[in-house]
Structure 1
Amino acid sequence: MNTRVVLCLTLAVLLYGGNAITISFKNNCQFTVWPATLNGGSSPALSTTGFELTSGASRSVDVPSPWSGRFWARTGCSGGAGNFHCDTADCGSGQVECNGKGGATPATLAEITVAPNGGQDFYDVSNVDGFNLPISMAAQGGTGDCKESSCKANINAACLNDLKVTGSDGSVIACKSACVAFNKPEYCCSGEYNDPNKCKPSTYSQFFSTQCPQAYSYAYDDLKGTFTCNGGPNYAITFCP
């Protein structure tokens, strides 16, 4: 093997731990969703950044360690290559693959930081960017707490009037967070409120917290929103659990 190739492979192992976990996706919704993946920071892009998942279907994706990023599901998608678009959580790429673009708000997120060498993973389900459909994220194996993180309630059905996003037929298809709806520092934990001692729960974040007690309801909801697991487990993400 070429010396340069060997060196590149060696560096890859050192950087990404030489191990991989598997994240499986299951669509329990009564409709098709289009899951999307986005790597964070210096983490590499995964083998897919977006795909179609019909009702009842499953798919798995390998994730290197260490790795950090997020997953979400788009809904109401249509159009062909160059004209692909979605009613909620659209990534704006014009294709099924998001190609490094994040999802439009509001969107329910599943986020994870995979540790190297079977260390401590951190994961959560977040409504900080709002909600478009229920999600759960569960460790499969591992050691430690390894509890399921989820937002299983249909928040769209209970969404407050000033947070509602409606579709062409007038039905509620997503629910904005206060930060997305009003873009104020006290809701977004930005500017002078970029401090957990200053950015406190609001009436709006408490609404999300009541609906989904295990999910992040605002940016500094770490105490109840963050979950951990050790030992390099795989993970299962379910839409409409």
Structure 2
Amino acid sequence: MGHTYGRRRALLKRMQRGFTMVEVIVAIGMLTLVGLAAAQFAITAVHSSYAHQQRAIAVGLAESGMEQVQESVKGKDGNTIFSTLTSGMSKSGAQEALKAATDLNVIENASDTIDLGWNDSPSATAIQAKVETNDRQGKGTTYTVYTVVGKCYRLSTQASCLSASKQGLVTSSGAVGAYKYVGEGNKSVDAASITDATKFPTGPFNTGTASSPTYSPMVRVVVLVTWPDSQHQGKTCWYSTATIFDGSNDDTLKSK
């Protein structure tokens, strides 16, 4: 009996030691899982925080770009706004900026909504179509600021501002109809001011008849900021802002 009882006690002790070991292994596994989950949460939180920071920087850059646009035309006549804003934009730079905006669907149906503008002899001191800048926190993010400037025309009976071809001012063959400036003694509109990317009509115009609708030339401006997506490799983040200026010598654009 004594030997049997001793063997049972030894067996029970071994079983207790086995259960304890299993419990330790389970506990270690649970702690590992919790630790991994916490680490993943921390990494996600850091990435999310950085993504929000990047967007905040981009918003600031876009707003700063639009403020620069607004300031550059302050006090100017409406029909000089276009030439002022395009004075620093080369053809290739303007086309690259428009492509970036259309590729990201920032400007949808660009051929229907904007006639791109540029300058044949761009100034290096004026607003540029493309500017790259790095964040000031030194985290290596490069932001690209695109500024797109173009013409569009608002029909007196409509609210939308559309391209010359979409408004029917230019035919599919490139011909421009015969138009007269409103209130300028039936002065004819130079076709080049509509078809040429470096020129702009001097004011509202129509066909010269009393019943003809009036077309008001406008300047469409889009400021787009792009930067690499920190959470999805190979993708691009963007933020944009836009405005339209009246190209008809609107007094509200002038300094008081």
- TM-score normalised to structure 2 length: 0.23
Larger helix proportion, structure 1 or 2?
2
Structure ID, larger Rg: 2
TM-score computed with the length of structure 1 as normaliser: 0.24
